[in-house]
Structure formats: C-alpha cells, structure tokens
Chain A
C-alpha cells in the first residue's frame, strides 16, 4: 500500500493533465466569447443610431431590430444553429437567439404547412417568452406604480 501511494498520486496528476477541460468551464468560455462578440456587433449598430443623434433609449430599438433581422438571416443560411451548438446561451440569450428561436422551428416545420407548420411553430419558444415577459412586466409596472406613484418608467 505504502509503495502504491506515490504512483497513485502521479497517476492522478497525469489524469488531471490529460483529461479534457470540464465541459462547464468550456461552455462558460464559449458563452462569454460568443455572447460578448454578438453584443459588440450590436454596439456597432447602437453607435450608428447614437451618432445620428438619437437618444440612447430610442437608439436601442432599431439596433435591436437590426440584430433580430441579422439573427433570422444567419439562421436561414444555417449558420446560427452551428454557432449555437458550441456557444449555448452565448448564442441563445442575445436577441439574435430570440430571432433564431423563431426562424429555426418555422423552417423546420415548413413541411407541415404554412399555417399550422410555419405559423404555429414560429412561436414554440417566442410564445412562452412573450407571455411570461408581458405578464411579469404588467405586474412589476403595477406594483411600481402603486408603491412609487406614476413615474413614466
């Protein structure tokens, strides 16, 4: 037993060195890099609208809309789902991922028809997102108005 111990430790060190990086760390690095990169691209468009003299609160609207269009287009080309396989929430959480969640099932269920295929499946993920966001936003706004009075946001 006593002689075994160093070799066991050495073996453990070897395992530690040779083992692939834990998926959690790898996933986090991918999510940070891709999510950050997508937001930096968004900053290009936000900067464009700010330089045109829009106030920040207004400029975020067309900037987000351009990113939505871009996300949908890259999904159409088959690029976005490839990025998403590695980037996980780094691709899913930016608004481009919301566009992807609409476009991807819409394309996939094209064969089920334009109404119940495309028209319905389009909202597979967007539906829950919109329903929950709207419901919670109304409650939050109502509570805030009751607590602080009408604020105008």
Chain B
C-alpha cells in the first residue's frame, strides 16, 4: 500500500530529508574522491539500478515520495522496473524495450526542452 498520501506536511519533510541525504552522499563522493560531477551522476544512476535489483528502491519511493523519485538513482530504478515489467508482459521483446518505454516521458521532455531552450535563450557570460 502506498504510504505517500500526497500533500500532508510530513510528506514534504520526508521528501526534503531523504532527497537531501541522497544529494549529500553524492556530494561526499564528489569531494572525497577524484571523480568528476559527470562520473558521480553516472555512478548514482547505476547505484539506483542495483538497489532496485534488490527490491529496495520501490519501498524508498513509497516512504519518501519525491525524495526518492526525483534524485537520479530513480532513473536507474525506473529502467530496471520497466525492463522487468516488459519481460513479464511480453517476454524477450519486452525485456529489450521495457526500460526505455518506462523512461520515455522524462527523456523526451528533457531532449525537447533542452533543444528548445538552446534555440530561445542565449547563454550568459
């Protein structure tokens, strides 16, 4: 059962604390290793996929809502969950297509908006 019930005050507190904590882990990784920001982003997406494989990311989203669904590990989780869903529903074809199907909305918006912004705005400085 979903434990996130929308706009209750505690749902914002949980989203803030869990989302902030995930970002702190990433910041510590950035500051305490020689990895660049891009490396840390890749690492955390990969970690999200692995954590999802152990069945632990879905409960984290149920607990923290956007605190777990907005940080990048959620992208890795969505790919794993979509791949498994596709495989269960449509076999091998679903296994291949399920991941990008599940993440298509976010990717399309990101590419479309990124492209549009580059046409409309000029970079500062």
Contact = CB atoms under 8 A, between A and B. Distances in A.
Interface residues of B, number: 85
Which label, helix, strand, loop or mixed, suits the secondary structure of the A interface? helix
Contact of B121 (A46, A67, A77, A140): A77
Contacts of A47: 6-7, 11, 65
A132 to B, nearest CB: 5
A43 B42 CA distance: 24
B19 A132 contact: no
* Interface residue tally on A, bucketed by range: 35 or more
Contacts of B102: 61
A75 B84 CA distance: 34
B45 A129 contact: yes
Interface of B is mostly: helix
B113 A69 contact: yes
A148 to B, nearest CB: 9
A20 interface: no
Contact of B70 (A32, A95, A138, A153): A95
B38 A128 contact: yes
10 contacts: A30-B27, A39-B64, A39-B71, A56-B4, A92-B26, A101-B41, A107-B122, A128-B38, A137-B76, A143-B53
